[in-house]
A and B are shown apart, each in its own frame.
Chain A
Amino acid sequence: MIDFDYIRATTLEEACSLISQYQDTGKILAGGQSLVTMLRQRLIRPEALIDIYGIKELDYLEFNGKDGLRMGALTKHRTLEKSPLIKEKYPVLSELEKSVASVQTRNWGTIGGNICCADPIADPIPALIALGAELKIVSMRGERTVPLENFFLDFFTTVLEPDEILSEIRVPPPAPNSAVEYMKFSTIEAGIKIVSVSVLVAVEPKSDVCRDVKIVMSAVAPIPLFARKASEFLKGKKFTDSLLKEAAEIAAGETNPTSDLHASAEYRKELVKVLVKRATRKAFEKAKAA
Chain B
Amino acid sequence: MEVQRKAVQKKLLKIRVNGKDYEVMVKPNRTLLDFLRQDLGLTGTKQACMDNSCGACTVIVDKMAVKSCNILALQVYGREVTTIEGLASPDGKLTDLQEAFLDFNAFQCGFCAPGKVMSATAMLEEMEDPTEEDVRRDMEGNLCRCTGYKQYIDAIMYVVKKRKELKQQKAKEV
**A-to-B contact residues, CB < 8 Å:** 1-6, 8, 29, 32-33, 36-37, 39-41, 45, 47, 49, 51, 53-54, 78, 98, 101-105, 107-108, 189-190
Contacts and interface: CB of A to CB of B under 8 A. Distances in A.
Given A47-B5, A104-B58, A3 B71 contact: no
Nearest to A78: B64
A195 B50 CA distance: 25
B155 interface: no
A41 B50 CA distance: 10
A32 B70 contact: yes
Nearest to B53: A102
Given A4-B8, A36-B71, A105-B70, 16 more contacts: A3-B8, A6-B72, A32-B71, A32-B72, A32-B75, A39-B29, A41-B51, A47-B6, A54-B77, A98-B137, A102-B141, A103-B119, A104-B67, A105-B141, A108-B61, A108-B71
Given A29-B75, A51-B75, A105-B52, A37 B70 contact: yes
A103 B65 contact: yes
Given A33-B52, A108-B71, A6 B140 contact: no
B123 interface: yes
B85 interface: no
Interface of B is mostly: loop
Interface in B112-152: 119, 123, 137-142
B25 to A, nearest CB: 12
Task: Tell which of B3, B29, B58 has the most Cβ of chain A within 10 Å.
Answer: B29
Nearest to A98: B137
B50 A105 contact: no
Given A37-B52, A102-B55, A107-B65, A5 B141 contact: no
A2 B28 CA distance: 10
A105 B27 CA distance: 23
Contacts of B64: 78, 107-108
Contacts of B65: 103-104, 107
A51 B74 contact: yes
A103 B123 contact: yes
A189 B149 CA distance: 15
Contacts of A32: 70-72, 75
B162 interface: no
Interface in B1-43: 3, 5-9, 11, 27-29, 31
Nearest to B57: A104
Contacts of B61: 108
A50 to B, nearest CB: 11
Given A4-B8, A189-B140, A107 B66 contact: yes
B6 A104 contact: no
Nearest to A36: B70
Given A108-B64, A190-B140, A5 B52 contact: no
A54 B79 CA distance: 11
Nearest to A51: B75
A34 B33 CA distance: 16
Interface string B98-113: 0000000000000000
Contacts of A53: 75
Contacts of B51: 37, 40-41
A104 B28 CA distance: 22
A72 B42 CA distance: 35
A105 B67 contact: yes
B31 A36 contact: yes
Contacts of A8: 74, 77
